[in-house]
Amino acid sequence: MAPRPLQAAKVEGEPEIYETQNVHAIYDDIAAHFSSTRYKPWPIIANFLSSLTTGWVGLDSGTGNGKYLPLPLDRPGDVWTIGLDRSKNLLQIARKAGANGVVREVLVGNVLDNPWRPGVFDYAISIATIHHLSTHERRRSAVKRLLESVSPDHGRVLIYVWAIEQDELSKRRVVSEDDIPSLTGKDVVVPWVLSKELSSAEKSLSDGGPQEPQVYNRYYHMFAQGELRGLVIEAAAELGLQVASKPEDVPKNTRGVEIVHDGWERSNYYVELKLW
């Protein structure tokens, strides 16, 4: 099946209200079906979590169904990840993530909230979340919150967002053949078709009859090449951080963040960061 071109999103009104209607409410409605399709960890993220120091505590900002909370699978329990998400229905699933019966620590909150003591975590991940924020300023603030949440001495951060450049296996096409590549990304709506079984079950409970599958249009900001890196640089500047590798002799009162990796994988852009 040929990839389907995505429709442009029309972002209007207050960003918080727009995101509540076009992101958060939708994920609460589709939580069970969505979770059933999100069970396999992506390799780079799994490797990142496997590389962490034993005893570290971290944050999964926008944890969804919590599929990364049990990792690393080769060292279960060696690190402990706390999940944050706006969807209560997804968090109910995340609490039981993993096969060993461990109850995970999760809490309801917005990725733009700042409830943590600065530097309280050793690491933070944010996977396929920041692209749901509807303005550049809010996306930058989300990156800033991640940098603030981890240790200024050794904190590590991994961020993934959807890319304009979709691979050959993608069901979506963001840029048409005659379109000019964007330098600032594109705002689009990505449909989610609720399974026929769930749609029919809900309809049967309400009026006794089956119905066609329900389609939800979720807001996404599809990132352009270099855009995520740019957010990191902007957020670091607001925090007074140098963006560079750690020098051998760190000047007094100087702090920084190194962009360890800046890449593209399977229709996503990602950055790995290390504070110093």
Output 44 or 196, whichever has higher pLDDT: 44
The per-residue pLDDT for range 95-135, each reduced to its tens digit, is 999 988 899 999 999 999 989 999 999 999 999 999 999 99
Output 223 or 175, whichever has higher pLDDT: 223
Q: How far is CA 4 from CA 22, 31, 141, 191, in A?
A: 20, 23, 31, 10
Q: What is the pLDDT of residue 94?
A: 97
Mean per-residue pLDDT over the chain, rounded: 92
Q: What is the pLDDT of residue 30?
A: 97
Q: What is the dihedral of CA 263, 266, 270, 272, to 10 degrees?
A: -80
- What are the backbone dihedrals phi and psi of residue 197, each rounded to the nearest 5 degrees, phi first? -65, -45
d(CA 233, CA 214): 40
Give yes or no for a contact between 49 and 71, defined as CB atoms under 8 angstroms apart. Answer: yes
The angle subtended at Cα 226 by Cα 242 and Cα 20, nearest 5°, is 95
Look-up of token digits 């066609």: 212
The average pLDDT across 3-27 equals 95
Give yes or no for a contact between 89 and 117, defined as CB atoms under 8 angstroms apart. Answer: no
* Cα maximum dimension of the chain: 72
The residue type found at 25 is: A
- What are the backbone dihedrals phi and psi of residue 220, each rounded to the nearest 5 degrees, phi first? -140, 145
Could you say which architecture CATH assigns to the domain 4-170+218-275? Answer: 3-Layer(aba) Sandwich (3.40)
d(CA 61, CA 150): 12
The per-residue pLDDT for range 179-194, each reduced to its tens digit, is 666 788 999 999 999 9
The per-residue pLDDT for range 248-276, each reduced to its tens digit, is 999 999 999 999 999 999 999 999 999 99
The average pLDDT across 59-73 equals 97
1 pLDDT band (50/70/90 cuts)? low
| Three-class secondary structure of residue 93 per DSSP | helix
The per-residue pLDDT for range 69-82, each reduced to its tens digit, is 999 999 999 999 99
Q: What is the pLDDT of residue 75?
A: 93
174 pLDDT band (50/70/90 cuts)? confident
Beta pairing partners, 106? 83
Beta pairing partners, 123? 58, 156
4 pLDDT band (50/70/90 cuts)? confident
Taking the complete model, does pTM exceed 0.85, yes or no?
A: yes
The residue type found at 228 is: L
200 pLDDT band (50/70/90 cuts)? very low
- Residue 139: CB atoms within 10 Å: 25
The average pLDDT across 135-163 equals 98
Boundaries of every domain in the chain: 4-170+218-275
The per-residue pLDDT for range 156-166, each reduced to its tens digit, is 999 999 999 99
